[in-house]
A and B are shown apart, each in its own frame.
Chain A
Amino acid sequence: MAEENKKLKIGWFSFSCSEDSTIVFTELMNEHWQEWKKIFDFRHARVLQSKNILDELDIAFIEGAIASDKHAEQLKEIRQKSKKLVAVGACAVQGLPAGQRNLFNENQKKEIEALIARFAALPKVLKVSEVIKVDAEVPGCPMDPDIFLKVVNELVAELKP
Chain B
Amino acid sequence: MHTLDITIENLAKVEGSASLEIKASDGKVEYARFKAVDYKRFFTNAMQGKPIAAIPQHLARICGTCSNAHILCAIEACEHALGIQPSEQTMLLRYLTSYGLMIRDHALHLYLFVMPDIYGKDNFLDFDENKPEEHQLLHDAFDIKAAGNFLSTLIAGRSVHALHPTIGGFLHFPEKDGVKEAIKKLEEIRPAVLRLIKIFEELPWRLDRKTNYMALVPERFGFLNGQIKSSKGEIISEGDFRSHLEHVILPYSQASAYKHEQESYMVGALARINLAKDLLHSHTKESAKTALTIFPSTNIYHNNLAQAIEILHSVDDAIEILSSREFVPEPVIIKPPRDAVGIGVIEAPRGTLYHKVELGSDGIVKGGEVIVPTGQNQVNMEEDIARLVEELLPTKPKEEIQFEIEKLIRAYDPCISCASHFLKIKWG
* A interface residues (Cβ-Cβ under 8 A, vs B): 14, 16-24, 26-27, 29-31, 33-34, 36-37, 42, 45-52, 67-68, 71, 97-98, 100-101, 104-105, 107-108, 111-112, 114-115, 119, 121, 141-142
Nearest-neighbour CB distance to chain B for A25, whole angstroms, equals: 10
Q: Which residues of B contact A105 (CB under 8 A)?
A: 49
- Contact assessment for B45 and A108 in the assembled complex, using a CB-CB cutoff below 8 Å: yes
Is B74 on the interface with A (CB-CB < 8 A)?
Answer: no
- Contact assessment for B64 and A142 in the assembled complex, using a CB-CB cutoff below 8 Å: yes
Is B229 on the interface with A (CB-CB < 8 A)?
Answer: no
- Contact assessment for A115 and B67 in the assembled complex, using a CB-CB cutoff below 8 Å: no
Q: Which of A16, A18, A37, A49 contacts B67 (CB 8 A)?
A: A18
- Contact assessment for B149 and A19 in the assembled complex, using a CB-CB cutoff below 8 Å: no
Is B254 on the interface with A (CB-CB < 8 A)?
Answer: yes
Is B142 on the interface with A (CB-CB < 8 A)?
Answer: yes
Nearest-neighbour CB distance to chain B for A157, whole angstroms, equals: 22
Q: Which residues of B contact A107 (CB under 8 A)?
A: 48
What are 7 A-B contacts defined by CB distance under 8 Å? A30-B146, A48-B112, A48-B123, A98-B41, A104-B42, A105-B49, A108-B45
Is B413 on the interface with A (CB-CB < 8 A)?
Answer: no
The distance in angstroms between the C-alpha atoms of A37 and B42, with both chains bound, is 37
Q: Which of B13, B43, B146, B160 contacts A49 (CB 8 A)?
A: B13
Nearest-neighbour CB distance to chain A for B398, whole angstroms, equals: 15
Q: Which residues of B contact A30 (CB under 8 A)?
A: 142-143, 145-146, 149
The distance in angstroms between the C-alpha atoms of A112 and B41, with both chains bound, is 10
Name the residue on A nearest B415 (C-beta).
Answer: A19
Is B384 on the interface with A (CB-CB < 8 A)?
Answer: no
Q: Which of A33, A98, A142 contacts B160 (CB 8 A)?
A: A142
Q: Which residues of A contact B41 (CB under 8 A)?
A: 16-18, 97-98, 100-101
Name the residue on A nearest B105 (C-beta).
Answer: A23
The distance in angstroms between the C-alpha atoms of A156 and B124, with both chains bound, is 22
The distance in angstroms between the C-alpha atoms of A49 and B43, with both chains bound, is 29
Nearest-neighbour CB distance to chain B for A119, whole angstroms, equals: 6
Nearest-neighbour CB distance to chain B for A160, whole angstroms, equals: 19
Q: Which of A101, A112, A142 contacts B161 (CB 8 A)?
A: A142
* B interface residues (Cβ-Cβ under 8 A, vs A): 10-13, 15-17, 38-43, 45-46, 48-49, 58, 61-65, 67, 104, 108, 112, 116, 122-125, 129, 138, 142-143, 145-146, 149, 159-161, 254, 406, 417, 422, 424-425, 427
Main secondary structure of the interface of B (DSSP, over half): loop
- Contact assessment for B112 and A26 in the assembled complex, using a CB-CB cutoff below 8 Å: yes
Nearest-neighbour CB distance to chain A for B207, whole angstroms, equals: 20
- Contact assessment for A52 and B42 in the assembled complex, using a CB-CB cutoff below 8 Å: no
Q: Which residues of B contact A27 (CB under 8 A)?
A: 104, 145-146, 149, 159-160
Given that A27-B159, A33-B138, A52-B12 are known contacts, is A21 also in contact with B64, CB under 8 Å in the complex? yes
- Contact assessment for B161 and A49 in the assembled complex, using a CB-CB cutoff below 8 Å: no
Nearest-neighbour CB distance to chain A for B149, whole angstroms, equals: 5
The winner among B42, B58, B67, B129 for most chain A CB atoms within 10 A is: B42
The distance in angstroms between the C-alpha atoms of A42 and B41, with both chains bound, is 28
- Contact assessment for A141 and B161 in the assembled complex, using a CB-CB cutoff below 8 Å: yes
- Contact assessment for B15 and A19 in the assembled complex, using a CB-CB cutoff below 8 Å: yes
- Contact assessment for A49 and B39 in the assembled complex, using a CB-CB cutoff below 8 Å: no
- Given contacts A104-B42, A119-B40, 10 further A-B pairs with CB under 8 A are A20-B63, A23-B159, A30-B143, A46-B13, A48-B12, A48-B123, A50-B12, A67-B39, A104-B45, A111-B424
The distance in angstroms between the C-alpha atoms of A67 and B39, with both chains bound, is 7
Q: Which residues of A contact B424 (CB under 8 A)?
A: 111
- Contact assessment for A18 and B13 in the assembled complex, using a CB-CB cutoff below 8 Å: no
The winner among B38, B116, B143 for most chain A CB atoms within 10 A is: B38
- Contact assessment for B39 and A33 in the assembled complex, using a CB-CB cutoff below 8 Å: no
The distance in angstroms between the C-alpha atoms of A29 and B145, with both chains bound, is 9
Name the residue on B nearest A105 (C-beta).
Answer: B49
Nearest-neighbour CB distance to chain B for A153, whole angstroms, equals: 19
- Contact assessment for B125 and A48 in the assembled complex, using a CB-CB cutoff below 8 Å: yes
The distance in angstroms between the C-alpha atoms of A119 and B62, with both chains bound, is 19
Name the residue on A nearest B8 (C-beta).
Answer: A50
- Contact assessment for A16 and B38 in the assembled complex, using a CB-CB cutoff below 8 Å: yes
Q: Which of A17, A26, A50, A67 contacts B108 (CB 8 A)?
A: A26
- Contact assessment for B17 and A14 in the assembled complex, using a CB-CB cutoff below 8 Å: yes
